[in-house]
Structure formats: C-alpha cells, structure tokens
Amino acid sequence: MTERPKTLPCPACWEHLSHKASSDEEAAQTARFEYLLANGVKEGLVEHVRDWPGVHYVRHLLDGEPLEGLWFDRTKEYSARNRGKTISPGQFATKETVALSTLPCWEHLSPEQIRARVGAIVQRIEETAAQGREESGSAVLGAAAVRAQKPFDQPARPKKSPAPLFMRLPAASAVSSMRRTICSWQLGRPLRPQSPGWRTAQGPSYGLLAFSRAEL
C-alpha cells in the first residue's frame, strides 16, 4: 500500500512521498519470488530447485555460490570482423559477477533470516510439485534430458492460439494502410471499408484497422 497526498505532485517531488509496506505487499512480493524460484520444478522438468542445469540464483541464495558469467562485447567483435581481424573464442568476453538486491519487504532481515525463508519456500515448492506428480502419476524429465533438448524445437500443439491475422501483416503493408487511413481522416473523408466484407467504426481509433483484403 502507498500513502499519497490528495494532489498529484510533480516528478521531482516523488521522492517526498511516504511509502508503507503492508502485509499484503509482502505477500505479493514473496509470491512473485516463489513463482520465479519454482521455474523448472512446477513444470515437471526437474525434481529439486537446485537440479536445474542452467543459471539459477537459488544456489547463490542458499549456498553462497557466486553468480558469475561472461559478458560478450558484440560491438567490438563486429568492428574487428569488419576490419578483417582474426577473432579467437572469448576474445571480447569479460567475466562479470551479478549482485542480487534483497526483496524490499526483507530488507530488515539478516542474511541468516533471509536464507531460512528462502529454504522454506524451496521446500514448499518441491513438496507441492511432488504431490502433484503423485496425483497425476507423472515423472520429472530430469536435468540430463533438459540439456538434450534442442533450443529451437517447437511443440506440435502450442498452448497459445495463433495471433490475429492483422497482427501478422507485413510491417510495410500495415504502416501503409495506417498512413492512408489517418490521411483520410485528417482530410475529413469518411472512413469506409476498402473492399467488400470489411466493416469499420467511425472515428480515428477504429479506422486504423481498415486494412484491405489485397494487403492480407
């Protein structure tokens, strides 16, 4: 919850607002944190949070393992390639360490208390997932099988339905239609369908969707 004055201050005055973290806010923050921690376990890919074969911050939070990785400077690499230089693997990579910020609702806690709370959340995640597998009779995929997956494979039946047709229009065609419709509206001409079968509402907002069949 946030306490705000009755009048809206200018952007420079936002720092003077007083904020109050309530129990509802803490619950919301920890719920989002738990959702992120559960990735890989709640989908049945691995049994334990620590088993995830990729990058995961749980080992940093519970075991103190540093979060380290490589930053590749693609700009310098691209420039060197354009100059015809020979590039060696990792030539433009630098080692970086990621520092995590504490949840705002946990800023008053000690590192030991935070570690205990994270451990309790991890235990709840794994127990919930185990119960779900027992009820459904399913098994985890396993870390080795996760590594063996091809990153560009697509499911045979995606959960999401295809995007609407107008969202799949070529960019140039969509921009051309929008510009023509906007110009017609600015000149005071009525917005009418450009071919039989199309209907548009009067007004600038709906007129932007007046695409012709030929451009679909």
- The per-residue pLDDT of the chain, averaged, comes to 77
Measured CA to CA, the distance from residue 128 to residue 156 in angstroms comes to 28
Between 19 and 135, the more confident residue is 135
pLDDT tens-place string over residues 41-93: 999 999 999 999 988 889 999 998 998 889 999 999 999 999 999 999 889 99
In this prediction, residue 151 carries a pLDDT of 80
Residue 87 near residue 31 (C-beta atoms within 8 A):
no
Alpha helices by DSSP H, 42-167: 58-63, 74-82, 111-136, 143-148
Q: What percent of the chain has pLDDT over 90?
A: 47
Q: Give the CA count within 13 Å in the CB-facing half-sphere of 183.
A: 6
On whether the pTM is more than 0.85, the answer is: no
User: Which residue in this structure is represented by tokens 């000149």?
Assistant: 187
Average pLDDT value for residue range 140-152: 90
84: left (phi over 0), alpha (psi -120 to 50) or beta: left
